[in-house]
Amino acid sequence: MSDKTSPDSHSPSSPAAPARAGNLNFILVCVFIDMLGIGLVVPVLPILIGDFVSGKDQQAFWYGIMAAVFGLLQFIFMPMLGAISDRVGRRPVLLYSMAGMGINFLATGWAPNLACLFIGRIIGGVSSASMSVASAYASDVSTPDNRAKSFGKIGAAFGLGFICGPMLGGLLGEINLHLPFYVAAGLSAANFIYGYFFVPESLQPGPRAPFTLARINPLAALLKLVRRVDIRGLVLAFGLMTFAQMMLNTTWVLYTHFRFDWTPRQNGIALFCVGLCAAVVQAGLLGILIKRFGEVRLSLLGMASGALTYLLYGLATQGWMMYALILCNLLAFAAGPALQGIISKSSNAGEQGELMGSLQSISSLGIIIMPLLGSMILGEVSHLPPQDWRIGSTFYLCAIMQALGIVVAWRYFKAQRQARLAVSTTK
């Protein structure tokens, strides 16, 4: 075990502690700028596709295809980049990701047709690794006991980007649907410059994990997670929760556009509320919630809150109800960091990049499957009257997946508790 996790490192007098906090602050700024740029285009891209196709069903179909292609490339490249970061360091991979996302935004903003939009999304898919590498960075500079808090801060930086990004993107999109992409490209360039000059390397000198074909195979990475009997239930629960989130992420804008006739500006305001809630919970309340409930109970309560909210999203008949539900769903923003914190404790420091990359690959796998499924369902119900309850079908499916995740996680935690009791009784 390295001295980063020694008891002395917790002491206020230890010289390592300030460096650890400083390094985390550096990466939080990078994540914020990165998410700010991504957030700019979220309320605009699905609407932009409508300019190149005819009919709501075609709009939903092509957006689903585009999102799935992006997810497929993320699925292939994210574990590769996570493993590369374990070998060469986090900083070079982060810089590569920032540069690639900038090119992606420029290509998408310039696109005169649907084919050029695809080119931009392809570039983005092969370079989008910032969240997995940032999570590994946070793990490098944290102790096992406070990793959940560090992941929560990463999530808060993510949320802060989405506080400002979608709101600004919605306002810019009202002027011109292409404008947010050019602004996002500028932010990516600024992020690259900041990362190059100010972000230090977090991976300590010494023996590093070898780079092998097995480690960069995305299916092998997932299979390795599934074969980990000690965390298999958690991985499955995390996957179900992530799949539900991916379904929401890829259908939200079109759903609200079809049902409530929302514009980019209104979706920007809604996503502003999402980012604000995420920041409040993950930056301000997460530590308090973990102390009050513990990571296990907090993850279950957060998933339960999310499942109920998904159901109510689908049943909502007025746009204002969506805002109210977002603000009432605070606990759901704590479930992901709590589960990540539990899972991260199962691996040593040298494998955190691979582990976080594999977990992010679950998200990418969800972005392959869920947009295709969600766009198909949304296209089928897009012709129904706005007040028809069936228009919320995608959210009902989200609620079912989340509920299954709760059952799986509860059974896993129950089995772990029984195993610990059995061991204690034999001593």
The pLDDT of residue 19 is: 40
pTM of the entire predicted model: 0.75
**pLDDT tens, 199-211?**
788 777 665 666 6
pLDDT at 304: 96
The CB-side HSE value for 105 (13 A sphere, CA atoms) comes to: 28
Per-residue pLDDT band at 378 (split at 50, 70, 90): very high
pLDDT of residue 76: 79
Strands (E), 275-410: none
User: Is the pLDDT confidence value at 20 over 60?
Assistant: no
Confidence at 316, pLDDT banded by 50, 70, 90: very high
**Confidence tier at 406 by pLDDT (50, 70, 90):** very high
Segment among 47-56, 288-297, 332-341, 411-420 with least mean pLDDT: 411-420
CA distance 427 to 413: 22
Query: Which phi-psi region, left, alpha or beta, contains residue 228 (left: φ > 0; alpha: ψ -120 to 50)?
Result: beta
pLDDT surpasses 60 at 5: no
Q: What pLDDT, on the 0 to 100 scale, is given for residue 77?
A: 80
AA identity, residue 255 = Y
Domains contained in the chain, CATH given: 22-201 (1.20.1250.20), 217-420 (1.20.1250.20)
More confident residue, 101 or 398: 398
CA-CA distances (angstroms) from residue 315 to 250, 259, 312, 387? 18, 11, 5, 9
pLDDT tier at 1 (50, 70, 90 boundaries)? very low
